[in-house]
Amino acid sequence: MHPIQAVIFDFDGTILDTETHEFRRWQALYRDHNRELPLQEWQRGIGTWDAFDPWAGLPDHVQQNRQAVHAQLLETIHADIQAADLRPGVRAVLDAIRPAGLRLALATSSDRAWVTRWLEQHDLLGHFETLATRDDVTRVKPDPELYTLAVHRLGLKPHQCLAVEDSLNGATAAAAAGLHVVVVPNEVTRTQAFLPEWGRVDGYEGGLESLLATVRN
């Protein structure tokens, strides 16, 4: 029997690359005002909540009109995500999990309404046995609480679960909860300083087998 009995996916950036769309729109906003948004700074906020304030680097007059600017920005970001497909190969991986005798859950620092919206759009909501979201915990990633909750709901032990993540904050949370970790980075997370003991694959083209192969007994 394979030591892994369940796979717990992150959502943003891991299943649907919402993160790259968001960064590109914020980067464009900065450039509209002759500012640069450093990717390394932005990365601090990926996979978590309130770890980086992008408004602080914008001119005062933009911040004074923050409500209107933010509304327009969110409209464009959501339109980009609406038009986007899932990350290449991830649907085949998700489709393969149950036939392989594994269970599937989701652990995300985003709220339930956000992930439900996009999972339903891509007809994926029914794939997941449970969703652990920031609505369910007091501390989001990199705190391990989300993963601890997901594992508890599955009735398993952490070492029986593989976390699939795209960000340093997310992988840190999963490792702290005692799960095996595989990182599948996207465009805005691939330069993060992932620990060498974590598994890493650069895409889903190798299927479920490539993720499970990173697990060290």
Q: Is 10 known to be catalytic?
A: yes
Task: List Cβ neighbours of 6 (8 Å cut-off, separation of 6 or more).
Answer: 102, 103, 104, 105, 151, 154, 156, 160, 161, 162
Residue 11, number of CB atoms within 10 A of its CB? 24
Q: Is 135 known to be catalytic?
A: no
| Residue 167 near residue 192, CB atoms below 8 Å | yes
Sheet bearing 130-132, strands edge to edge: 130-132, 103-107, 6-9, 161-165, 180-183, 199-200
Task: List Cβ neighbours of 41 (8 Å cut-off, separation of 6 or more).
Answer: 52, 57
- Of 10, 136, 143, 166, catalytic: 10
At how many degrees (to 10) do helices 145-154 and 168-176 cross?
A: 50
- Of 12, 17, 136, 143, catalytic: 12
Catalytic residues: 10, 12
